[in-house]
Chain A
Amino acid sequence: MTTDQVAVPSEHDVVKAGHDAPATGMGVSNTKLAMWLFLSSDCLFFGAFISAYLFYRGRPQPGPHPADVYNIPFTSVTSFILLMSSLTMVLALAAIMRGDYRRLRVWLLATALFGATFIGGQVFEFTEFYRQGFTLSKNLSGSTFFVLTGLHGAHVTAGIIWLLSLWGLATQGRLTSRDSERVEIAGLYWHFVDVVWIVIFTVVYLIPK
């Protein structure tokens, strides 16, 4: 077990003391709790940038405006790919829990590849936007759009590196079902990043005005 819960009073301590004092811990994994706390914190981080985007979107500013350059079909495809990467991620988790290490490696790699495809798609998309004159420094929306999606992309990239590291460990046989939680926690991060994109795609790309 990777998350050695040091300092958790052992049964030995309790029995020796001869008391019946109730256990008081929440009884969950420390690392998982830590990841969830971090994710709730990250909500406030992304919220700030989404708010900045929404704030500046309606303001008078020189073009091009986001709506002028968006390629919804294209972004729908990349969004779909990211969404499917959540599926492959959770299948990877199911695989390691069953001890199916071949599928673990397959699904981990698939998730990383889908993520990389998403990033690739964004790179292409942004290059297109720049070509059309919608840039980071062009106007208010350019700044808020590129920073928001860029930071999201940075989160995805960090996730890809994390997944590839897990995949690397798995190929060396260093990831067994006892390490399921490590995959689960990477998965929580990955799903969160996907969920943030669900919000961004809706609020930034789709919602009119």
Chain B
Amino acid sequence: MADESAPAGTATETDPVEAPADEQPGTALAPTEGTAPALVEPQVPMLPGEVQPHPTPVKYVMIAAILVAVTAAEIGLYYLQGDVPDGLIIVFLLTFAVIKFGLVASWYMHLKTDRPIFRRFFVLGVVAAISLYLIVLTMLHVFSP
């Protein structure tokens, strides 16, 4: 019931709450109840399994603003196609895509504040996909003139 009594709409960020590993909720020892028994009363409610309080709504909106800005830059770059060498455009566009991917994964999907295991598995999938398919495309001569 702790959730219902937590202060609603708290918008301030707190210092990360470092709960010792063996008090993480949902361990083999503690039946999961759905709330995080943290050492310090969290000002931002945490999801079970999170090691730091996850971002606040303000943070989310800030991330959204960055995403919009990067997207705008991408579109701008698209229209510079005649004037800027293609190679450069590709590098920048891919970088922007990686930045956006990273922002959404880290902040919206909570990879930054969650247990590392999720990040590791997801990265494994992404890296596996990129490596394998890059090799396939190379073998199919997509990158050679």
- Stretch of A140-148, A149-157, A192-200 with 4 or more beta carbons under 8 angstroms from chain B: A192-200
B40 contacts partner chain A, Cβ-Cβ < 8 Å: no
Asked if A43 and B105 make an inter-chain contact with CB atoms under 8 angstroms apart, the answer reads no
A137 contacts partner chain B, Cβ-Cβ < 8 Å: no
Asked if A47 and B129 make an inter-chain contact with CB atoms under 8 angstroms apart, the answer reads yes
- Stretch of A2-10, A113-121, A158-166, A167-175 with 4 or more beta carbons under 8 angstroms from chain B: A2-10
Asked if A27 and B108 make an inter-chain contact with CB atoms under 8 angstroms apart, the answer reads no
**What is the chain B residue whose CB lies nearest that of A5?**
B32
Shortest C-beta distance, B112 to chain A (Å), equals 13
B interface footprint on A74-106 (CB within 8 Å = 1, 0 otherwise): 001001100110110111001001111000000
**What is the chain A residue whose CB lies nearest that of B4?**
A99
Asked if A41 and B125 make an inter-chain contact with CB atoms under 8 angstroms apart, the answer reads yes
How far does the alpha carbon of A81 sit from the alpha carbon of B33 in the complex, in Å? 36
3 pairs of A and B residues whose beta carbons are closest in the complex: A40-B125, A47-B129, A1-B34
Neighbouring B residues of A48 by C-beta, 8 Å = 133
A11 contacts partner chain B, Cβ-Cβ < 8 Å: yes
Asked if B81 and A208 make an inter-chain contact with CB atoms under 8 angstroms apart, the answer reads yes
B29 contacts partner chain A, Cβ-Cβ < 8 Å: yes
B38 contacts partner chain A, Cβ-Cβ < 8 Å: no
Asked if B104 and A191 make an inter-chain contact with CB atoms under 8 angstroms apart, the answer reads yes
Asked if B124 and A40 make an inter-chain contact with CB atoms under 8 angstroms apart, the answer reads yes
A25 contacts partner chain B, Cβ-Cβ < 8 Å: yes
How far does the alpha carbon of A24 sit from the alpha carbon of B47 in the complex, in Å? 21
How far does the alpha carbon of A44 sit from the alpha carbon of B142 in the complex, in Å? 19
- Which positions 79-108 of chain B face chain A at CB distance < 8 Å? 79, 81, 86, 89-90, 93-94, 96-97, 100-101, 104-105, 107-108
Q: Would A195 and B121 be within 8 Å (CB), given that A11-B31, A27-B115, A178-B34 are in contact?
A: no
How far does the alpha carbon of A206 sit from the alpha carbon of B128 in the complex, in Å? 24
How far does the alpha carbon of A116 sit from the alpha carbon of B27 in the complex, in Å? 39
Asked if A1 and B47 make an inter-chain contact with CB atoms under 8 angstroms apart, the answer reads no
